[in-house]
A and B are shown apart, each in its own frame.
Chain A
Amino acid sequence: MKMTKKTYLLLALLVAALLFPILVPNQYYLQILILVFIWTIAVYGLNTITGLTGQLSLAHAGFFAIGAYSLGLLTINAGIPFWAAFVLAIVITTIISFFIGIVALRTKSHFFAIYTMSVGFLIYLIIYKSELTGGVRGLIGIPNPAPIGPLTFESIQSYYYLMLFFLLLTIFFMYRLFHSLLGKTFVAIRNSEELAETLGISVMKNKLLAFVISAGLASLSGALYASYVRFLGPQMADIHVAFEILLYLLVGGIGTLAGPLIGTFIVVVLTQMLQFLEEFRMLVFGPIVVLLILFYPRGIVGGYLMWRAKRAKKQKVADANTTTKGENGNAVNH
């Protein structure tokens, strides 16, 4: 019964998402949702390596940027058709991430975090200094996504559906991954690399796979970003972007399936709502982040899951108590 209730809820959400542009013809709201969709995909990417596999990567702003810049450069400089460039951009990023992963994954825990932070910073500096990428000026003139059959991508509504499509695809992908043997293997590595290794799991190979998947998702997100914003600057590879992605993930709930979507939505909307504070919004935003982490260290979805588990346990204990009451009485009589 519970299952169906959940399914109904999800269906309702889906229908709402599909109807939104028709019911609410506000471009600003659409813009926000489009950005939420794009970011969420990157957050799912980070969730794969950090949430599932337990390796905190701070290089993901870099992969996001590589995906975006690859698309930009392939379409502008090489003149490759849009969708071919789109696929190539993701392929290029995964190849790059493969080589970075081979080296970076030899380091563990915070070493890995800072190592990837440095890699991210190097990617940023390369984009920033290189002539090819347009340096500080950035990359201008990325074309609209080419029409696919009768579908064209000019209006903001069409962009909305395009991003929604890729988001749903990503969620489906993550859902399958979460419930697969491979997903369970990733989680085992997160729990203990040492033990996983004694159990004959090739830790390096699995971590590398998770890393490449996660970079691939980040680059998908980057390529979508490039096709939507159509201007790229080096600041998109900045470490702050990596922090931001991480923040979305943590607010939502790391290692959970729904966390990335919920976290990204909440944080993006919250930052927009705090706009009225102008230059002082960080003065409020910072403490909100701290409070959230203090009270929900596992994020919103993680907090909910814990609450549910606790409630289930309480129920069990209560049930057990009613049955053991009798025994207790006996013990006293003894």
Chain B
Amino acid sequence: MLLTINQLTKQFGGLSAVNDVSAVIEESKITAIIGPNGAGKSTFFNLISGFHQPTSGRIELSGQDITNMRAEHVARLGVGRTFQTTHLFEQATVLDNVLIGHRLRTKAGLFDAIFRTKRERDEKKKCLDKALEALEFVGLTSLAYEQAHSITQEQQKRVAFALALATDPKLVLLDEPAAGVNPDETEGLSEVMKKMVKRGKTVCLIEHKMPMVMSLADHILVLNHGELIANGTPKDIQKNERVIEAYLGGNSNVSA
């Protein structure tokens, strides 16, 4: 198990955004999290990645307790993520964005900076290589020198992927990666995710686009009102009455 979640709860005021959820995320698989709006999916991600601290419960990454760790620390342990609304360093080029993604694996400090030590030079090269690799991975090499805010939605999503990948993560959390992306390009993103798994990453995504989820996911978790209401393969989920009632709806274009 890469990630084990035990009785996780998060309350905002009186509201339980995530309520007593236990689940596991398997290594080198794609796990999808679905559920109605406000079900607590993003909150769930925020808890894992250390952005919010849970009210109770326990999170373990490869056996290590990360329950109350801060985001930066969790990232260093190998959890990369993207946000629901795409979030980039807007005032920088695409390359500079991704370059910084690998910073957490480097150590060069003030001394190295001023004296331009070997470490500084080596690490700079390493960051650059990593960034170019990540950009190539998502197919954006040609946009490396564009400003991040001036490229399209879908390209920004890809940069966000690259950024997450540049951190050398074991687990990648993707919050609605295909929102606002047209079907054609959605497929492209699916390919990228599959490629990630091939490279040994574990992917966990939140998505409302059922065709994509059903064809991509190995495993699906369904949240509703903060609670885990179903947990299984896409096939199981599509047939699950509670899920259909709460989320999918009768004639949903699941396979369209």
B120 within 8 A of A: yes
Given contacts A182-B109, A198-B51, contact A191 B75 (CB under 8 A): no
Q: Which residue of chain B has the shortest Cβ distance to A172 in the bound complex?
A: B114
Given contacts A188-B89, A191-B89, A194-B87, contact A181 B167 (CB under 8 A): no
Binds A, one of B18-26, B97-105, B179-187, B218-226: B97-105
Inter-chain contacts of A202 with B (CB < 8 A) = 72
Q: How many of chain A's residues have a CB under 8 angstroms from any CB in B?
A: 25
- Asked if B108 and A180 sit within 8 Å, CB to CB, the answer is yes
Counting chain A CB atoms within 10 Å of each CB, which of B71, B76, B120 scores highest?
Answer: B71
B92 within 8 A of A: yes
Per the 8 Å Cβ criterion, residues 176-207 of B in contact with A are none
- Asked if A192 and B110 sit within 8 Å, CB to CB, the answer is no
Per the 8 Å Cβ criterion, residues 186-234 of A in contact with B are 187-188, 191-192, 194-203, 209, 213
- Asked if B81 and A198 sit within 8 Å, CB to CB, the answer is yes
Q: Which 7 A-B pairs have the closest CB atoms?
A: A200-B104, A200-B75, A180-B113, A191-B89, A188-B100, A200-B76, A182-B113
* Chain B: number of interface residues, binned into ranges: 35 or more
A177 within 8 A of B: yes
Inter-chain contacts of A213 with B (CB < 8 A) = 110
Inter-chain contacts of A188 with B (CB < 8 A) = 89, 92, 100, 103
Q: How many whole Å from A220's CB to the nearest CB in chain B?
A: 14
- Asked if B113 and A177 sit within 8 Å, CB to CB, the answer is yes
Given contacts A194-B87, A198-B71, A202-B72, contact A185 B114 (CB under 8 A): no
Q: How many whole Å from A64's CB to the nearest CB in chain B?
A: 21
Q: Which residue of chain A has the shortest Cβ distance to B78 in the bound complex?
A: A200
Inter-chain contacts of B133 with A (CB < 8 A) = none
Q: Complex Cα distance A200/B73, Å?
A: 6
Q: Complex Cα distance A202/B92, Å?
A: 20
Our pick among A182, A192, A197 for the contact of B89 (Cβ within 8 Å) is A192
A173 within 8 A of B: yes
Q: How many whole Å from B104's CB to the nearest CB in chain A?
A: 3
Inter-chain contacts of B113 with A (CB < 8 A) = 176-177, 180-183
- Asked if B116 and A176 sit within 8 Å, CB to CB, the answer is yes
Q: How many whole Å from B84's CB to the nearest CB in chain A?
A: 13
Our pick among B96, B103, B110 for the contact of A199 (Cβ within 8 Å) is B103
Q: Complex Cα distance A159/B71, Å?
A: 50
Per the 8 Å Cβ criterion, residues 60-89 of B in contact with A are 70-76, 80-81, 83, 87-89
Inter-chain contacts of B49 with A (CB < 8 A) = 198
Q: How many whole Å from A97's CB to the nearest CB in chain B?
A: 15
B37 within 8 A of A: no
Q: Is the interface of B mostly helix, strand, loop or mixed?
A: helix
A137 within 8 A of B: no
A184 within 8 A of B: yes
Q: Mark A147-191, 1 if CB is under 8 A from B, else 0.
A: 000000000000000000000000001001100111111011001
- Asked if B103 and A185 sit within 8 Å, CB to CB, the answer is yes
Q: Which residue of chain A has the shortest Cβ distance to B105 in the bound complex?
A: A200
Q: How many whole Å from A62's CB to the nearest CB in chain B?
A: 23
Our pick among B91, B92, B108 for the contact of A182 (Cβ within 8 Å) is B108
B27 within 8 A of A: no
Q: How many whole Å from A161's CB to the nearest CB in chain B?
A: 23
Given contacts A173-B114, A176-B116, A182-B110, contact A199 B100 (CB under 8 A): yes
Q: Which residue of chain A has the shortest Cβ distance to B87 in the bound complex?
A: A195
- Asked if B114 and A192 sit within 8 Å, CB to CB, the answer is no
Our pick among B96, B103, B116 for the contact of A200 (Cβ within 8 Å) is B103
Q: Which residue of chain A has the shortest Cβ distance to B91 in the bound complex?
A: A191
Q: Which residue of chain A has the shortest Cβ distance to B102 in the bound complex?
A: A199
Per the 8 Å Cβ criterion, residues 143-161 of B in contact with A are none
Q: Which residue of chain B has the shortest Cβ distance to A197 in the bound complex?
A: B71
Per the 8 Å Cβ criterion, residues 15-41 of A in contact with B are none
Q: Complex Cα distance A107/B43, Å?
A: 24
Q: How many whole Å from B58's CB to the nearest CB in chain A?
A: 21
Our pick among B99, B109, B110 for the contact of A184 (Cβ within 8 Å) is B99
- Asked if B72 and A201 sit within 8 Å, CB to CB, the answer is yes
Given contacts A173-B114, A213-B110, contact A185 B75 (CB under 8 A): no
Q: Which residue of chain B has the shortest Cβ distance to A191 in the bound complex?
A: B89
Q: How many whole Å from A110's CB to the nearest CB in chain B?
A: 19
- Asked if B124 and A199 sit within 8 Å, CB to CB, the answer is no
Q: Complex Cα distance A182/B80, Å?
A: 21
- Asked if A192 and B87 sit within 8 Å, CB to CB, the answer is yes
6 other A-B residue contacts (CB within 8 Å) besides A176-B116, A182-B113: A192-B87, A199-B72, A199-B163, A200-B74, A209-B109, A209-B110
Q: How many whole Å from B146's CB to the nearest CB in chain A?
A: 11
- Asked if A203 and B100 sit within 8 Å, CB to CB, the answer is no
